[in-house]
């Protein structure tokens, strides 16, 4: 039951994040309430405690990136909802997959922005130069590094991977 609810919440959040770059509180807060309610009904006080600890772990994982300006508040709250629904272990495993997926998305954005041919040429020349002891200068424009993307996609991907792999730790 919680997996289906979580997937529906993630789908809605990914759509709104892609469309308007926002994850809305009108989705997050009712989902959080349902997580507490369902875990409490299914497992009593232990289920409620499970939700609270998961919420705190999920919130904590993205708090520092948020405070440093690299993450939106909606992303932090979405991961907290994942923790409230599925618990601390699951949200931690999801965050590992989320980081891998987020890194791949970020790398793809850097590589496939305009000017890909000049970046490939720069990488080849840099690798050749390193071989002969030359120190290459940075060849990625600052504007490319400052681009943002909807991180809700990476969060959803991490959760889906954790569900599909039954919480197996990525190595």
Structure tokens at 43: 């497992």
Domain assignment present for residue 170? The answer is no
Highest mean pLDDT: which range of 48-62, 110-124, 146-160: 48-62
Computed over every residue of the chain, the mean pLDDT equals 86
- State the total domains in the chain: 1
Contacts with 110 (C-beta within 8 Å, 6 or more apart), sequence order: 119, 140, 144, 145
Domain assignment present for residue 130? The answer is yes
168 class by beta-carbon count within 10 Å (0-12 exposed, 13-18 middle, 19+ buried): exposed
pTM above threshold 0.85? no
- Domain hosting residue 64, numbered range: 2-164
Please write the tens of the pLDDT for every residue from 137-167: 655 555 555 566 889 999 999 999 999 988 6
Domain assignment present for residue 41? The answer is yes
Domain assignment present for residue 99? The answer is yes
């Amino acid at each position: 039951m919680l997996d289906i609810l979580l997937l529906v919440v993630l789908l809605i959040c990914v759509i709104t994040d892609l469309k308007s770059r926002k994850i809305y509180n009108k989705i997050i807060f009712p989902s959080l309430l349902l997580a507490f309610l369902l875990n409490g009904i299914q497992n009593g006080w232990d289920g409620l405690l499970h939700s609270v600890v998961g919420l705190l772990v999920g919130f904590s994982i993205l708090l520092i990136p948020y405070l440093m300006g690299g993450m939106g508040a909606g992303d932090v709250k979405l991961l907290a909802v994942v923790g409230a629904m599925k618990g601390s272990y699951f949200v931690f495993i999801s965050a590992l997959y989320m980081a891998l997926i987020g890194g791949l998305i970020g790398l793809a954005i850097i590589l496939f922005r305009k000017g890909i041919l000049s970046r490939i040429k720069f990488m080849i020349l840099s690798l050749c130069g390193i071989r002969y002891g030359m120190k290459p200068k940075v060849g990625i424009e600052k504007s490319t590094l400052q681009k943002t993307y909807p991180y809700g996609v990476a969060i959803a991907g991490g959760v889906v991977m954790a569900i599909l792999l039954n919480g197996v730790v990525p190595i």
